Structure 1
Amino acid sequence: MVVMQPPAFFSSILADEIGMHQTNNLTFNLFICFFLLSTTSSFAQADFAKSDSYSISVGGASVTLQTPFAVFYNQAGLAGLEKLSAAVYYQQRYMTSDFAEISGVVCLPLKTGTFALSVWQTGITGYHENRFGLAFAKKLGPRLSSGLQFSYYMMDFPENGTAQGVFLFEMGARYELPGKQTLGVHLFNPFGANVRSTLNRHTLPAALKIGAGFPLGDMLRTYLAASGDLDGNYKLHGGFDFQPHDHFSLRGGLSGKPVNYAAGIGYRWSFLQTDLAVSHHAVLGYSPSISLTFNL
């Protein structure tokens, strides 16, 4: 049996194509890296506010939600949890396998309040951000709840390959009105802690987010929020959750500026809640995600 070898001309073309593909991947990864450094330095709150598929699908207008993932966008939402729960989240950022975001939460409701442990990570090869948090939330009355969190945030700076970190503090409150409307407020990093390296400084400005959730009929709930930081960056958020069945939801949302839109679905079966979402960034494209919540 004779094995045919490709001509040298075609082998050269194939090698060039492979090299070009690897170069394109490297170029895209470097672009993502510098884009992250520029955007997260100016508006760090957006990094954590969309750390699950539910929040993503409603445009980040999640400051009133009561889920285990509330540990990322308003710890007061943990106070309404009644069962031991665990949740995980995965997002493929901008449709590239080299860039992912993941998070996980474990919540323990007790008579004194709800405790939660969380972990969050995002990045690409050579560049990562990590956050580890401990949160506590408590009901202060039949309608008012509050929560706080201490966390440690780390960055692997590309210029020297070393990790630098800082301790962060955040807190929030949630209030339920008689007509099932809810109000929420969340304050992130009020002391303005930031991460420094040899050649770089990653600013985490103090940020405030306020929002509301209110029903429109029996099957539709809408969410609105506004966020801003001390550097003068402001953003509006809006979304809806349409629930035609007790176990199924359709969601959509917008946020900006720049304008980002998202859509998602949710399905609840027994102890498992599954949420899927797809968001679109005006510059970088689409990002699919999935969240799984286990109520034990």
Structure 2
Amino acid sequence: MFSLRIVLFSLLVAAVTCEDLDFPPGFQFGAASAAYQVEGGWNASDKGENIWDRFVHEKPHIIADHSTGDVACDSYRLWRRDIEMASDLGLHFYRMSIAWSRLLPNGFANKISEDGLNYYNNLIDGLLEKGIQPMVTLYHWDLPQRLQDLGGWTNPLIVDWFGDYARVVFSHFGDRVKSWITINEPSSICDIGHGSEIMAPGWQDPDNAVYLCNKYVLLSHAKAYRIYEAEFKAKYQGELSLANHLMWYEPFSPEDEELAETAREYIVS
């Protein structure tokens, strides 16, 4: 798993350069991945196509070496080895994401994939058996293509679609997962994915789609949060938030202070 190798390298560097430093009591180590980045198996079993599948297949020139996530780290098949590496590293947490279109092949909650359920159950149970707490992200940039064809994050109905998806995930994994992230980096999804062609879905509509996306992504986060609080919190006592991509802006001159503050407020909204 690529992300675990990065962590191992970082720990080795820390050991070499910081020999006299100790981690404080209770410090916990973790590693992170995302479904499209590591799973592969892009069309295995009944998994549905997602926006990154479509993006890299139709626009291979966007990726410098024309690589795809079709196989990636092959974690869909090699999940046992991934868990072994996580255990060997002594990790306390492992952040992973659910592939929406692997669990719900057509994007909607009326069809749940048994193979998708089995995969994530095996992964979560395997981590817990090794004493590693799973931190699960509901959405890490891999919207089902069928929903994208209906407008994706610019369609107000996606708030309910995401809520239905979140309820399925909480229902099946909430008894074991206590740390949840609803959506990874809304600003990247919307500002880049809907304002440029360098990230799926590759829309270039900074005047309209970017703002609609930001609105409905945040409402979707709120929807999932309220569902968890109302239906699952009392039973499972988990925690839930989102992951922001934060940037800090300083004014170029005193006259730019108001503009810099507006930019700071936008990036954390």
Q: What is the TM-score with the length of structure 2 in the denominator?
A: 0.34
More helix by share: 2
Which structure has the higher relative contact order (CA within 8 Å, separation 6+)? Answer: 1
More strand by share: 1
Q: What is the TM-score with the length of structure 1 in the denominator?
A: 0.31
* Structure with bigger gyration radius: 1
